[in-house]
Structure 1
Amino acid sequence: MTDPNGLAPLQQFALNDRLANYGDGVFTTMSVKDGKVALLNRHIARLVNDGAALGLSVAENAVRQVIQSALKQRQDGVLKLLIGAGQGGRGYARPEQSALTVAVSWHEIPAFYQQWQQQGIHLGSVGVNLARQPLLAGLKHANRLEQVLIKRALANSPYDDAIVTDENSTVIEASAANLFWLKEGHWYTAGLEHAGVNGVMRQFILAQSVPVQEVAMSLSEVADADAMFLSNALMQVVPVQRLTIGAASRELAVAPVLSLWDTLKPLYAGEYGAA
């Protein structure tokens, strides 16, 4: 269906572009410092694996070439890479022959992330749930309408971010980050069999020696956690300083999160790479 040896540059969406029309594609957002990409190999593997889950043949060497070219333009910031299924007809079905496209853009790292990392955030709930769809669960696909609705609700709330559940009230993640919590001396994170995004920072944390159990817990079960943090490729690790669920609001311990991040920092630094 697609050319596995290259990615056609995309500067402007055609009217029948499948990425623009249906979110038919995958993407990743990378933190770049001094010309090196944090968690580089995990980002590339995610694009290849998630593309394959959607039936897109994304070649690792082609992705590396795109990143290499982008790093010639800029050495620091946020590098976003979108891979789309190319152009198609009016309907949902892809044409038998289509060339994958790639769009690259540079952005600034949100300035408030550093403050969040140091001081923690106020996490609440906004009442927008994720649908359960095992075929898409874990994927960083380009259809993000659920997250758009969550961000809209969050903008009208007093919270810095939101704890998001699926339609069965099972805790999944935050608005654009994975969620970890400490309860009775054990670290947990949500299993992503039915919904959510398997972030590269989440993958990194789970690959380390720190024991973290993937579970299905309800919002009420997570509400009495002792500590909690958000993670993604840009914010890295952000502690939750206050948690509000319904009418109940309380302070959470930040020290366990900072201690865990101190342990992980040297390992994280070792995963910067040049494409």
Structure 2
Amino acid sequence: MYWINGQQHDALAPSDRGLQFGDGCFTTARIVEGKIDLLPWHIERMQQAAQRLLMPAADWLALEREMVHAAESITLGVVKAILTRGSGGRGYSPHGCEHPTRIISRSTYPQHYLQWREQGIRLAVSPVALARNPLLAGLKHLNRLEQVLIRAHLDQTNAEEALVLDTSGMLVECCAANLFWRKGKAVFTPNLDQAGVAGLMRRRVIELLAGSEYQLHSVSEPLATLADADEVLVSNALMPLLPVNEAHSWRYHSRQMYDFLRPHC
């Protein structure tokens, strides 16, 4: 089900810059018992992305109201909110774009996440490297062709997710999730100042670890750093947290940190 600028609709103007150039941002949220998990963070993420993309002011109260409406009476589901620059401008120029387009969609919850939480998952190494671009790093913008290619390659494997490196050979994230690994009491997550998406569940995990016995480090490390990890986890706002059984050729048996985090995610 789709809503565009508050009206139930499934047709976008061909002139919309989200379609023309991927000019916009989005967020994907989990519905639990009619409520949107981490809703204030989702709105904040969209506001920060719009600001960095130099987009005109959006009606944030309307966006939040529309997301809340989409979640009503849904026990478990997904709401996706997209904000484009709207229509206007000539060529790449955003001049004249004054009214951003709000797009809300609702879908069923991916039931396989429930199974993966119990069974754990495998990570393949993607042959697709993310370009390093500090201007857009961290943002969940609409230019997601790298992820489309990563997913296309992942579909040819028997893994559930993919380890993704940047063009300098450093770990960044997974296709649709952030990455954590543990060595003893030290926990590591890739630094996202050059590439990747700063996920909201990543933010939540970082917050939880700050008040724990674990010491978190944001790092730039190659794939080989996972060889001697005790535990690997991936996260996103929908999963929200999954244990990893196997990554590349390495296997992991501990769920110590996963068991600590899971009740709070």
Q: How does the TM-score come out when normalised to structure 2?
A: 0.90
Aligned to 1:271: none
User: Please, which moves more after superposition, 16-25 or 59-68?
Assistant: 59-68
SS in 2 for 1:235: coil
Q: Indicate whether 1:101 and 2:105 are aligned.
A: no
Looking at both structures, which has the greater relative contact order when contacts are Cα pairs under 8 Å and sequence separation is at least 6? 1
Check conservation: 2:89, 2:97, Cα contact below 8 A.
Answer: no
Structure 2's unaligned 5+ residue stretches are none
C-alpha separation between the residues in 2 aligned to 1:115 and 1:145?
28
Aligned to 1:21: 20
Question: Alignment partner for residue 221 of structure 2, among 217, 222, 230?
Answer: 217
Aligned to 2:36: 37
Deviation string, structure 1 residues 70-120 (Cα, Å, up to 9, x no partner): 234745310111111001245111133421111111111111111111111
Check conservation: 1:16, 1:89, Cα contact below 8 A.
Answer: no
User: Please, which moves more after superposition, 87-96 or 180-189?
Assistant: 87-96
SS in 2 for 1:207: helix
C-alpha separation between the residues in 2 aligned to 1:31 and 1:24?
24
Aligned to 1:228: 232
Aligned to 1:88: 88
Aligned to 1:3: none
Matches for 1:236-247 after TM superposition, within 5 Å: 236-244=240-248
Q: How does the TM-score come out when normalised to structure 1?
A: 0.87
Give the paired residue count.
255
One-letter identity of the residue aligned with 2:225: E
C-alpha separation between the residues in 1 aligned to 2:102 and 2:73?
16
Displacement after TM superposition at 1:23 (Å): 0.9
One-letter identity of the residue aligned with 2:39: L
C-alpha separation between the residues in 2 aligned to 1:235 and 1:28?
14
Aligned to 1:132: 132
SS in 2 for 1:217: coil
Deviation string, structure 1 residues 237-268 (Cα, Å, up to 9, x no partner): 10100121xxxx23202322332224xx24x4
**% of aligned pairs identical?**
36
Check conservation: 1:231, 1:238, Cα contact below 8 A.
Answer: yes
Q: Indicate whether 1:67 and 2:67 are aligned.
A: yes
Matches for 1:1-275 after TM superposition, within 5 Å: 11-56=10-55, 57-72=57-72, 74=74, 76-89=76-89, 91-208=91-208, 209-210=211-212, 211-244=215-248, 249-262=249-262, 265-266=263-264, 268=265
CA-atom RMSD, angstroms? 1.8
Displacement after TM superposition at 1:173 (Å): 0.2
Structure 1's unaligned 5+ residue stretches are 1-6, 269-275
Change (3 A) 1:150 1:98: same
